[in-house]
Structure 1
Amino acid sequence: MVVEARTIDQVEAEAMTRLAPLVEACLGEKPLYEEVEEVMIWLISRYIARSALELRPRTFTADDFGRALDDSVRRATGRRRDGSTELLMKLKFKLRAAEIPEPEAETQHDAMLAYRRTYRASVGTRRRAYDI
């Protein structure tokens, strides 16, 4: 076995490469790079970092990882394994804090969901236009 030093970018690239197929299996479609990155952040911050703070080591089984992955994918992409869409809680909280009337907040919420569906379904020049 050869042990070599790696940069954080190399470690992150390897983690993203391994995580992308797992996220794809949860979503049922190819994930966006940003979605995989967000899932990785959720997994590290919520599950790995918190476990590291505990006094005793914690056993992390394959089932535990599956639940953590599902939860991270749901939080990062807004989609559940069954294909339904998670509520945009951050948007709703922001609109509520800004004292936006509930009907207008619902309209904005629906518009954001429609945009996310359109963006995910777009390809080629249409996708590039959204990225600009």
Structure 2
Amino acid sequence: MSRMLFVNTTATDIPATREFFSGLGFEFNDDFCDDTTLCLVVNDSSFVMIMTPEKFQGFITGGISDTTKDREVLLAISAESREAVDTLVDKALASGGSAWQETQDHGWMYGRSFRDLDGHAWEVSYMDLSAMAG
């Protein structure tokens, strides 16, 4: 059996968040979307459930992290090339996301990152495993 992954987080403006991630090329599973929740599809078995803080609070105990000060999670996704990393991050920055962390270039691994509209950190990386030092 293949495991599925559901990352759960918050967004203060569901329509703006949908527009932001749609502009980055992501799709949504509308069977699990409504006025309080988005189901962002990463691949066939990985999803990011993005909920209003009120809805998210119903799934947790304790408080919700203040993304202006702390990281509750680092969301890392792959890209098919260095150029694809740059394209995705540049689109995120041009669409209202903000810069986060310096570019990481280790030759065989290249990555950049951004913060989404709600301050969640996203890292986008490309790895050329054939060039990885043994």
TM range (shorter): under 0.3
Larger Rg: 1
> TM-score, normalised on structure 2?
0.26
Question: Which one has the bigger strand percentage?
Answer: 2
Question: Which one has the bigger helix percentage?
Answer: 1
Identify the structure with bigger relative contact order (alpha carbons < 8 Å, sequence gap 6+): 2
